[in-house]
A and B are shown apart, each in its own frame.
Chain A
Amino acid sequence: MTDATVNTGNNLNLIQRIRRDYSPLVIGMVGLFLVVFVAGAVFTDDFLTWFNVKTIIRDAALVGIMAIGLTFVTLSGNFFLLSMKEIAALSIICFATLMSADWNQWGTVGADPTTWSLTMTFLVAFVATMIIATIAGALQGALIGLGGNPIVVTLGAAGLFFGIGSWWSDNLVVSYRRPHGAEWLGTGSFIGDIPNITVAFIIIAVVAELTLRYTTFGRQVYLVGANRAAGRATGHENFGMAIKCCIIASVCAAFVAVAFSGQVSSAHVNYFSSEFGSSGDMTIMVIAIVMVGGNSIMGGYGSTLRTSLGAIFISSIDNMMVLNGFNSGARVLAVGLMIVFSIIVFALVRRGSRAVE
Chain B
Amino acid sequence: MADQPLLRLTDISRHYGAIQALKGAAFEIGRGEVMGLVGENGAGKSTMVKIIGGFDTGFTGEYFYDGEVRHFPSPTAAEQVGIAIAQQELSLIPTMSVAENIFLAGDGVPQIASRKTLAKMAKPFLEEVGLGHVDPLRSTTRLSVGEQHLVEVARLIAHNPQVLILDEPTAALGETDSIRILDMVNRLKEAGKSVIYVSHRMDEIFKICDRITVLRDGESQAPRAAADMDVNSLVEMMLGFELGDMYPARKPFSRTEPVLKVRDLWPDGIIEPISFDVYPGEILGLAGQLGSGTSEILGAMAGSTKTRGGKLHYKGEEFLPTRPKDTIRRGIAYCSEDRKHDGLFLGRPIMENLSAPSLETISSKGFLNGTKELSTTTENAVKFTVDPKRLPQEAGVLSGGNQQKVALGKWLSISPDVILVNEPTRGVDVGARAEIYQILRDLADQGAAIVVASTDIQEITNLPDRIVSFYRGVQIGELQLDDMTSANILEQITDPFHEAGIAVSEKAS
| A complexed with B | yes
Chain A interface (Cβ < 8 Å from any Cβ of B): 1-3, 5-9, 20, 214-220, 222-223, 226-227, 229-237, 296, 300-301, 353-357
Interchain nearest-CB distance for A352 vs B (Å):
8
Would you call B345 an interface residue if the criterion is a C-beta within 8 Å of the partner chain's C-beta atoms? yes
Q: Is the CB of B342 within 8 A of A230?
A: yes
Whether a CB of chain A sits under 8 angstroms from the CB of B130 is no
A6: chain B residues at CB < 8 Å are 18-19
Q: Do A223 and B19 touch across chains, with their CB atoms under 8 A apart?
A: no
Interchain CB contact under 8 A, B397 and A216: no
- How far, in angstroms, from A218 to B18 measured CA to CA in the complex? 33
A355 with B17: CB separation less than 8 A: yes
Q: Whole-angstrom distance between the alpha carbons of A12 and B357 in the complex?
A: 35
**Interface residue? B223 (CB, 8 A):** no
From known contacts A230-B342, A233-B324, A233-B336, infer whether A8 and B389 are also in contact, taking CB-CB under 8 Å.
yes
- A233-B334, A235-B357 are known contacts. Are A215 and B366 too (CB-CB below 8 A)? yes
Residues in B with CB closer than 8 Å to A357 are 396-399
* A356 lies within 8 A of B397 (CB): yes
Question: Can you give 14 contacting A-B residue pairs, CB < 8 Å?
Answer: A1-B20, A216-B359, A222-B345, A226-B345, A229-B342, A230-B356, A232-B323, A232-B342, A233-B324, A233-B343, A234-B324, A234-B356, A296-B347, A300-B345
Contact A3 B399 (CB under 8 A): yes
**B302 proximity list for chain A (CB < 8 A):** 233
- Most chain A CB neighbours (cut-off 10 Å) among B324, B336, B347, B389: B347
B42 interface neighbour in A1, A20, A226, Cβ under 8 Å: A1
Most buried by B among A3, A233, A356: A233
Q: Are A237 and B20 in contact (CB under 8 A)?
A: no
CA A219 to CA B363, docked complex, whole Å: 11
Q: Indicate the member of B336, B368, B390 with the most A CB atoms within 10 Å.
A: B368
Q: How far apart are the CA atoms of A115 and B410 in the complex, in Å?
A: 57
The distance in angstroms between the C-alpha atoms of A227 and B346, with both chains bound, is 8
Please give the distance in Å from A62's CB to the nearest CB on chain B.
Answer: 29
- Residues of chain B within 8 A (CB-CB) of A234 are 324, 328, 356-357, 410
Measured in the bound complex, the distance between the Cα atoms of B10 and A223 in whole Å is 45
Chain B residues contacting A227 (CB-CB under 8 Å) are 342, 344-347
Q: Within 8 Å of chain A (Cβ to Cβ): is B44? A: yes
> Considering only CB atoms and an 8 Å cut-off, how many residues of chain B contact the other chain?
49
If A226-B346, A237-B323 touch, whether A219 touches B397 (CB-CB below 8 Å) is: no
Known contacts: A3-B399, A232-B342, A300-B345. The answer to whether A219 contacts B334 by CB under 8 A is: no
Q: Assess whether B17 is in contact with A220, with CB atoms less than 8 Å apart.
A: no
> For the complex, what is the distance from the CA of A130 to the CA of B304, rounded to whole Å?
37
Give chain A residues whose Cβ lies under 8 Å from the Cβ of B397.
353-354, 356-357
Contact A353 to B345, CB < 8 A, known contacts A1-B21, A217-B366? no
Question: What is the CB-to-nearest-CB distance from A133 to chain B, in angstroms, rounded to a whole number?
Answer: 23
CA A231 to CA B370, docked complex, whole Å: 20
Known contacts A232-B304, A233-B343; A216 and B18 CB within 8 A of each other: no
Specify which of B359, B398, B410 lies most central, judged by the most chain A CB atoms within 10 Å of its CB.
B359
On whether the beta carbons of A216 and B366 are closer than 8 Å, the reply is yes
Asked whether B383 is an interface residue with its Cβ less than 8 Å from the other chain, the reply is: no
Contact flag A235-B329 (CB < 8 Å), given A3-B402, A356-B17: yes
B116 located at the interface, meaning its Cβ lies under 8 Å from any Cβ of chain A in the complex: no
Decide if B367 is an interface residue (CB 8 Å cutoff). yes
| Interface flag for B456 (CB, 8 Å) | no
In the complex formed, the residue of A with least CB distance to B402 is A3
Q: Which of A1, A220, A296, A354 has the most CB of B within 10 A?
A: A1
Interface assignment of B43: CB less than 8 Å from any CB of chain A: yes
With contacts A7-B18, A20-B17 known, is A216 near B360, CB below 8 A?
yes
The 8 closest A-B pairs by CB, nearest first: A229-B342, A226-B345, A7-B18, A356-B397, A235-B325, A234-B356, A234-B357, A233-B342
A223 touches B345 (CB 8 A): yes
**Cβ contact of B19, chosen from A217, A296, A300, A356, cutoff 8 A:** A356
- The answer to whether A219 touches B324, judged by C-beta atoms less than 8 angstroms apart, is no
Are the C-beta atoms of A223 and B389 separated by less than 8 Å?
no
- A1 close to B19 (CB less than 8 A): yes
Contact bitstring B5-38, A, C-beta under 8 A = 1, else 0: 0000000000011111100000000000000000
B341 close to A (CB within 8 Å): yes
- Tell me which residues from 326 to 352 in chain B have a Cβ below 8 Å from any Cβ of chain A: 328-329, 334, 336, 341-348, 352
Interface check B435, CB cutoff 8 A: no
Q: In the complex, what residues of A have CB within 8 A of residue B44's CB?
A: 1
Residue pair B347, A301 in contact (C-beta under 8 Å) = yes
Which of these, A218, A230, A235, A355, contacts B343 with CB under 8 Å?
A230
Q: Which residue of A lies closest to B373 (CB)?
A: A219
Query: Would you give the shortest CB distance from B390 to chain A, in whole angstroms?
Result: 8
- List the B residue with the shortest CB-CB distance to A353: B394
What residues of chain A lie closer than 8 Å to B175, measured between beta carbons?
A: none
Question: With A and B bound together, what is the CA distance between A167 and B397 in angstroms?
Answer: 54
Determine which residue in B329, B342, B360 has the highest number of CB atoms from chain A within 10 A of its CB, and name it. Answer: B342
Residues of B within 8 A of A354 (CB): 394, 396-397
**Chain B residue contacts of A296, Cβ below 8 A:** 347
* Closest chain B residue to A357, Cβ basis: B397
User: A1-B16, A357-B398 provided; 9 other pairs, C-beta below 8 A?
Assistant: A216-B360, A222-B345, A226-B345, A227-B344, A230-B344, A233-B304, A301-B347, A354-B394, A357-B399
| Alpha-carbon distance A125/B366, docked complex (angstroms) | 31
Q: How far is the CB of B420 from chain A (nearest CB, A)?
A: 11
Query: Which of B43, B357, B394 is packed against the most chain A CB atoms within 10 Å?
Result: B394
> Chain B contacts of A233 at CB under 8 A?
302, 304, 324, 334, 336, 342-343
Interface string of B461-493 (1 = CB under 8 A from A): 000000000000000000000000000000000
**When the two chains form their complex, are residues A229 and B360 in contact, meaning their CB atoms are under 8 A apart?**
no
In contact, A215 and B367 (Cβ under 8 angstroms): yes
B217 at the interface (CB under 8 A from A): yes
CB distance from A295 to the nearest CB of B (A): 12
Q: How far is the CA of A106 from the CA of B95 in the complex (A)?
A: 69
- B residues in contact with A7, CB < 8 Å: 18
Q: Collect the chain A residues with CB atoms within 8 Å of residue B336's CB.
A: 233
Q: How far apart are the CA atoms of A305 and B431 in the complex, in Å?
A: 42
Return chain A residues, CB-CB under 8 Å to B342. Answer: 227, 229-230, 232-233
Q: Interface readout for B73-92 with A: 1 if CB under 8 Å, 0 if not?
A: 00000000000000000000
The distance from the CB of A259 to the nearest CB of chain B, in whole angstroms, is: 28
Select from chain A the residue with minimum beta-carbon distance to B335: A233
Known contacts: A2-B43, A220-B359, A223-B352. The answer to whether A237 contacts B325 by CB under 8 A is yes
Q: Give complex CA distance A233, B342 in Å.
A: 6
Q: Which residue of B lies closest to A300 (CB)?
A: B347
Q: Which residues of A contact B19 (CB under 8 A)?
A: 1, 5-6, 356
> In the complex, A3→B390 CA distance in Å?
10
Please determine whether B20 and A222 come into contact, CB atoms closer than 8 angstroms.
Answer: no
B359:A230 contact, CB within 8 angstroms:
no
A230 and B342 alpha carbons, distance in the complex (Å): 4
Contact B217 A2, beta carbon cutoff 8 Å: yes
> In this complex, what residue of A is CB-closest to B217?
A2
Contacts of B348 in A (CB 8 A): 222-223, 226, 300
A235 partner, pick from B42, B47, B328, beta carbons under 8 A: B328
- A1 / chain B contacts, CB cutoff of 8 Å: 16, 19-21, 42, 44, 47, 218, 399
Q: Which residues of the other chain, B, contact A214 by a CB distance below 8 angstroms?
A: 367-368, 370
**Interface-central residue, B19, B43, B304, B370, by most chain A CB under 10 Å:** B19
